[in-house]
Amino acid sequence: MQLTVWTYEGPPHVGAMRVATAMQGLRYVLHAPQGDTYADLLFTMIERRQKRPPVTYTTFQARDLGGDTAELMKTAVKEAFERFRPQAMIVGASCTGELIQDDPGGLARALALPVPVIPLELPSYSKKENWGAAETFYQLVRALAGPQAPAPGSVTPRDPSRPAGERPSCNLLGPTALGFRHRDDVAEVTRLLERCGVAVKVVAPLGATPADIARLGEADFNVPLYPEVAASAAQWLKRAFGQPATTTVPLGYGATRRFVEEVAALCGFDPALLLAGEPSRLPWYSRSIDSTYLTGKRVFVFGDATHALAVARVAQEEMAFTLVGLGSYSREGAREVRQAAQEAGLEALITDDYLAVEAAIAEAQPELVLGTQMERHVAKRLGIPCAVISAPVHVQDYPARYSPLMGFEGANVLFDTLVHPLTMGLEEHLLGMFRDDFEFNDTAGPSHLGAGHTPPAERSAPEQPGSLPWSTDAEAELRKIPFFVRGKARRNTERYAAEQGVATITVETLYDAKAHFGR
Amino acid sequence: MSGAPLRAAPTPAAGCAERPVLRERGQREVFCGLTGIIWLHRKIQDAFFLIVGSRTCAHLMQSAAGVMIFAEPRFGTAVIEERDLAGLADANEELDRVVEQLLARRPDIRLLFLVGSCPSEVIKLDLSKAAQRLATRHSPDVRVLNYSGSGIETTFTEGEDACLAALVPSLPAEPAAADPSLLVVGALADVVEDQFRRLFDNLGIADVRFLPARRAGEMPAVGPNTRLLLAQPFLGRTLAALEARGARRLAAPFPLGAEGTTSWLKAAAEDFGVEPGHFSAMTRHARERARLAVARHRERLEGKRLFLFPDSQLEIPLARFLARELGMIPLEVGTPYLHRAILDEELAALPDGALVSEGQDVERQLDRCRAARPDITVCGLGLANPLEVEGLATKWSIELVFTPIQGYEQAGDLAELFARPLVRRTRLEV
Ligand code: SF4
Ligand code: SF4
């Protein structure tokens, strides 16, 4: 048993719902009690979807348990088919359904419906949402595209040359319902590929029908946009159809360039022309002198593995931030995250315990947190600026405007996202200059965050028992230091004073410590 | 106003007993009883609710709460894992460990509820035994109780019923010789509770207690001289448990709207021998204020047709209020479960044309709703946006549980909740 307050991922059947809800013409029958229908509101409320998820729940009750829950499942499948006439169905169980062992797949098969019925085995007590989405997508691809695959043994690697006039083509794999910016990422990457002269044949699961899934094998290669969901399906397609897959996720300016180069190599064109010119404003914005103040900002990054890795790279290479923490809740991507952390001289935090993440953030004392909605709460509580860069997210992270994270426009969006929560360049100086002005103190906060912005409380590191006394002057001087480094300054000074055997901390001790630790 | 007069006294059997009820069994689109924790944990300020369940239960709590509570909440989930099921770990030992961990983290907790879920019930984890064991271990600092909020046993507000029913056996005993006291049963917002306390005080009913109390150590005593008023219509099991301890229910409609609140207060006043003249003098001002506040929305709502999906069991009293005080026309009034005995007065006051339905088959009910094209549909969050897309104005039923709606001072707010979606539609030009 694990004590959980907030969770980063739902159960695996919610992952299956994300796939089913993204698609057209598919129905999901879920053996589950009534309370599990809460999952519908994730889609209709948080993502503001206009249709109910295509899910039929059996909603069995205690009184059914002694009797025939299996019959309930059969009726539900039959009625769902008759009412909705889907092209294909998936059937499975939620955590409670799994325990009563009714074999939804076998029951549905016994009905001999005239459409493919794909059983899902999603172990609720060991797996989670993203795994569930990946497994569901993989099972759908195997079941629906499988019949089109060449006989095993006759699969040949794709030949990059093609008849003159015929454009190379690819599939975009992985975008789901309730995905973080998936809608806009798909539009942006499609546009980018168009500019490369590559046609996008099928986007799946987002917007795809079962018939679309069946023709995935027709494209020249696959682009797994979200490896958390698409990796296993892409691997299978490679084995079954000989389709290669790109390995770079175009998140960030550099990654987008590498993605274009990878596509160019797969399709045999020269990327130079496309990459010349001004595909993104990020490089110039980062080089413009107003951005100087971004140098060395201490950031803490946490999210799903794909977004955490990409954003950590953008933060370091494209913003010149300093990474002070990196972690992910997805164990599936732990290896890469560990490696990236190590390269930055850190130890990665791989956990799905939000209290552990909170403790790590408090410890690292970053100036900016880039995380999920959980880290937004933590950062708010600690008074640290924060931007959301990964699922799970909330309703305001589905903006009305076009706001991709991928591709060159995505790099622009990332620049804005990472800079917006911070005090702007010149303004930071002005705040420092007028610190003692009665209207212009640190409780005023940056103007672009609006009058309603509550000023962050001072983050005092927990006072150690027996910590050294501060002279009044030194306390006053400490208050002149910007709030976001004040906690660290206090700790460093006290540590220095303890090491030096200073009895009372004076203004001199403060500056001695500052010189000693540098930055 | 329509229908029979709304009265506190037992109504003639005619009408309600014969009102046809459409019973349905199909897919239900409702929360399970765990969701009650969202308001209960705010209400009882030194209690912690530990769900013994799955990742689904934890995810439900976080999604249904809608907005996450900023501070660390006083609820959590002990998530059952593979090892617990495979017998690699002893589930009871695991639970004890989690409770130790929790109480070490939250030394301020005085009352711990172990809340059963579907998985804990299906694997037959005996939480009442566990509660006894843990209570012995952590006594006297922490009391440990258990109840089920599982979706196979409870629907949404029935979780509160189960929780309060679990509290009843541990309530202090009131001596048989004690003076009569009034017990108001059902979690109310603190502000509403304070208003009622003042009203009862003005009426001269001084000994008024509330269940649940705001703190574990202040739970009310109960005995044969306890008269109880239900503040919520979904408390059947709690009522039975209190009756078993000698308390007597004062039959009344529910305190929604000016009229409902007056009848509810009057039930107590009559039983406590308050002079009718005094009652009317003491409530006149608030009554009048509520009537005016409600009347402000009448123009917007009168004659509008109403369809309620089953959710909180508040549907019947709500429909009664909307019909009688605002002139709305209820077409279908769904309820997950119909407590006839508790809702006698309410059913009798409901317009005859309203179809009462119990249980649910959500697809069929949606068919009926679409065919009726009501002016406003009260439904859960999973249905609201899709219905709006189809051109139907909706009111989220969950708001009726999360916001204070009972009593005189909230009557206008309650009416406004229904007027707002309609107002919004007339203002938008997009
Ligand atoms: S219905 Fe059952 S399994 Fe689902 S959230 Fe409620 S208690 Fe948990
Ligand atoms: S506080 Fe923010 S992140 Fe948390 S639930 Fe509300 S909107 Fe979502």
Cα(A323)–Cα(A343) distance, rounded to whole angstroms? Answer: 10
Side chain identity at residue B109, one-letter code: I
* B378 belongs to a structural domain: yes
Same domain, B305 and B329: yes
Cβ of B67 less than 6 Å from ligand 2: yes
Confidence of residue B118 (pLDDT cuts 50, 70, 90): very high
Last residue of a domain, one of B239, B259, B292: B292
The 3-state DSSP composition of chain B as helix, strand, coil percent (nearest 5) reads 45, 15, 35
Confidence of residue A370 (pLDDT cuts 50, 70, 90): very high
**Residue A431 scores a pLDDT above 60:** no
Site from B99, B152, B392 to mutate, A interface, most A CB atoms within 10 angstroms? B152
* B166 belongs to a structural domain: no
Q: Mean pLDDT, to the nearest integer, of B108-114?
A: 97
Q: Give the pLDDT of residue A154.
A: 78
Cα(A40)–Cα(A188) distance, rounded to whole angstroms? Answer: 28
Same domain, B361 and B340: yes
Same domain, B128 and B143: yes
Where is average pLDDT lowest: A38-42, A57-61, A437-441?
A437-441
* Cα–Cα nearest to B264, from B2, B5, B1, B8: B8
Domain count, chain B: 3
ipTM over 0.85: yes
Residue with tokens 């009372």, as numbered in its chain: A504
Site from A29, A82, A96, A126 to mutate, B interface, most B CB atoms within 10 angstroms? A96
Higher-scoring residue by pLDDT: B274, A158: B274
Where is average pLDDT lowest: A416-430, B144-158, B292-306?
A416-430
Same domain, B307 and B279: no
* B203 belongs to a structural domain: yes
> Tens digit of pLDDT for each residue in A77-104?
999 999 999 999 999 999 999 999 999 9
> Tens digit of pLDDT for each residue in A177-209?
999 999 999 999 999 999 999 999 999 999 999
Last residue of a domain, one of B292, B310, B344: B292
Q: In this structure, which residue's CA is closest to atom 5 in ligand 1?
A: B57
Q: Do B339 and B186 contact (CB within 8 A), yes or no?
A: no
Q: Mean pLDDT, to the nearest integer, of B34-63?
A: 94
> Tens digit of pLDDT for each residue in B84-99?
998 777 899 999 999 9
**Residue A440 scores a pLDDT above 70:** no
Task: Test A34 with B60 for CB contact under 8 angstroms.
Answer: no
**Residue B12 scores a pLDDT above 50:** no
Q: Is B100 on the interface with A (CB under 8 A)?
A: no
Q: Mean pLDDT, to the nearest integer, of A223-228?
A: 97
> Looking at ligand 2, which atom is closest to the CA of residue B67?
5
Q: Mapping DSSP to helix (H, G, I), strand (E, B) and coil, where does residue B366 land? A: helix
Cα(A423)–Cα(A427) distance, rounded to whole angstroms? Answer: 7
Q: Do A243 and A158 contact (CB within 8 A), yes or no?
A: yes
Same domain, B309 and B424: yes
Q: What pairing do the DSSP bridges indicate for beta strands A88-93 and B181-185?
A: unpaired
Same domain, B305 and B423: yes
* Cα–Cα nearest to A260, from A271, A269, A252, A268: A271
**Residue A462 scores a pLDDT above 50:** no
Respond yes or no: is residue A184 known to be catalytic. no
Range of B421's domain?
12-29+296-429
Same domain, B329 and B279: no
Cα(B35)–Cα(A494) distance, rounded to whole angstroms? Answer: 47
Interchain CB contacts (distance < 8 Å): A and B: 182
User: Residue B389 maps to which CATH number?
Assistant: 3.40.50.1980
Q: Mean pLDDT, to the nearest integer, of A274-284?
A: 86
Task: Test A11 with B56 for CB contact under 8 angstroms.
Answer: yes
Same domain, B258 and B324: no
Same domain, B314 and B421: yes
* B23 belongs to a structural domain: yes
* B186 belongs to a structural domain: yes
Q: Is B79 on the interface with A (CB under 8 A)?
A: yes
Question: Residue B154 is encoded by which pair of tokens?
Answer: 């409870």
Stretch 363-402 of chain B: residues touching chain A, C-beta under 8 Å: 363, 380-386, 389
Same domain, B146 and B220: no
Q: What are phi and psi of A224, to 5 degrees?
A: -75, 100
Side chain identity at residue A281, one-letter code: R
Confidence of residue B71 (pLDDT cuts 50, 70, 90): low
Q: Which of B59, B61, B67 to mutate to test the pocket of ligand 2 (most atoms within 8 A of CB)?
A: B67
* B163 belongs to a structural domain: no
> Tens digit of pLDDT for each residue in A117-144?
999 999 999 999 999 999 999 999 999 9
Task: Test A3 with B151 for CB contact under 8 angstroms.
Answer: no
The 3-state DSSP composition of chain A as helix, strand, coil percent (nearest 5) reads 50, 10, 40
Q: Give the pLDDT of residue A225.
A: 97
Q: Give the pLDDT of residue B5.
A: 61
Last residue of a domain, one of B258, B292, B326: B292
Q: Give the pLDDT of residue B146.
A: 98
**Residue B23 scores a pLDDT above 90:** yes
Cα(A387)–Cα(A422) distance, rounded to whole angstroms? Answer: 10
* B41 belongs to a structural domain: yes
Cα(A370)–Cα(A301) distance, rounded to whole angstroms? Answer: 5
Same domain, B315 and B328: yes
Task: Test B27 with A56 for CB contact under 8 angstroms.
Answer: yes
Cα(A410)–Cα(A252) distance, rounded to whole angstroms? Answer: 7
**Residue A449 scores a pLDDT above 50:** no
Task: Test B381 with A59 for CB contact under 8 angstroms.
Answer: no
Cα(A388)–Cα(A516) distance, rounded to whole angstroms? Answer: 35
Angle, in degrees to the nearest 10, between helices A12-22 and A129-145: 50
Q: Do A516 and A499 contact (CB within 8 A), yes or no?
A: no
Side chain identity at residue B297, one-letter code: H
Q: Is A21 on the interface with B (CB under 8 A)?
A: no
* B94 belongs to a structural domain: yes
CB atoms within 10 A of CB B275: 12
Same domain, B21 and B77: no
> Tens digit of pLDDT for each residue in B132-189?
999 999 999 999 999 999 999 999 999 999 999 999 999 999 998 999 999 999 999 9
Distances from the Cα of B126 to the Cα of A244, B88, B139, B389, angstroms: 53, 18, 20, 46
A394 alpha carbon to ligand 2 midpoint, in Å?
6
For A436, counting Cβ atoms within 10 Å of its Cβ (0-12 exposed, 13-18 middle, 19+ buried), the class is exposed
Q: What pairing do the DSSP bridges indicate for beta strands B329-335 and A199-204?
A: unpaired
